[in-house]
Amino acid sequence: MTSKYERANASDGQSRIPDIVIGRLPIYLRSLKILLSQGQTVTNSQELGDRLGISSAQIRKDLSHFGEFGKQGTGYDVAYLCKQLEKILQVDCIWPVVLVGAGNLGHALASYAGFENRGFRIVGVFDNQPDKIGTHVGSLQVEPLTQLPAHVARHHCRIAILAVPTKAAQNVANLLVEIGIKSILCYAPITLNLPEGIRVEYIDPVIHFQHMTYYLEKDCLKT
């Protein structure tokens, strides 16, 4: 789904808002939610920058793409800025999500309580393994992949989580695209080959481990 900001940019001839800017907005929103939960009502770009390791100038520049949210000398109203970022990111509603893969990772994801209060609800879990079909993952019963198209249509799903083995990931992703999924959160350690316009975000903990170990003094188990 194209945001109103991208549509506005396209209509007035301006360039699209850089994706790297969009990628930082959820980080700002998360930090603001923490401040709100702590009872803080006002913040500023310097405080946010100190918390996040991002310059205050960068935060102000990012937010300026979407309007003026604070006043010089008084900062940002935390609750107001939260609501505005939720609208911009289109998480001021609940997005239905299907989860493919009912293994250990799928169980953990389906049982995670932190999705819904941030705009997402897993509405179905699917697998092709007979021993998993009919079992329960969290409050949901695992269904066969054959039921996936009807479920996606019934719940108007546009987002899927892919938590299947690497060898199955591409085929399952192809199926998801065929039945109308537009965005995939992929936990398989693979780069998917999908049509233009399909948004994929990858989560591979090993990549992050390997990034971190570059900066460590070598003191690991011998292979």
User: What confidence tens digit (pLDDT) does each residue in 171-190 have?
Assistant: 999 999 999 999 999 999 99
**pLDDT-derived band of residue 138, with 50, 70 and 90 as boundaries?**
confident
- In terms of pTM, does the model score above 0.75? yes
pLDDT per residue as tens digits for the range 16-34: 899 999 999 999 999 999 9
pLDDT at 222: 74
- Cβ contact 56:64 at 8 Å: no
CB 126 within 8 A of CB 100: yes
Q: According to the model, what pLDDT value does residue 15 have?
A: 53
The Cα 63–Cα 68 span in angstroms is 7
E-assigned strand segments in the chain: 42-43, 70-71, 75-77, 95-100, 120-127, 136-137, 140-144, 159-162, 183-186, 199-202
Identify the H or E element spanning 85.
helix 78-88
Domain boundaries, the chain: 4-87, 95-208
| Domain covering 95-208, topology | Rossmann fold (3.40.50)
Q: Provide the pLDDT confidence category of residue 213 given band limits of 50, 70 and 90.
A: very high
| CATH class of the domain whose range is 4-87 | mainly alpha
pLDDT digits (tens, 9 = 90+) for 158-173: 999 999 999 999 999 9
State residue 8's pLDDT score. Answer: 43
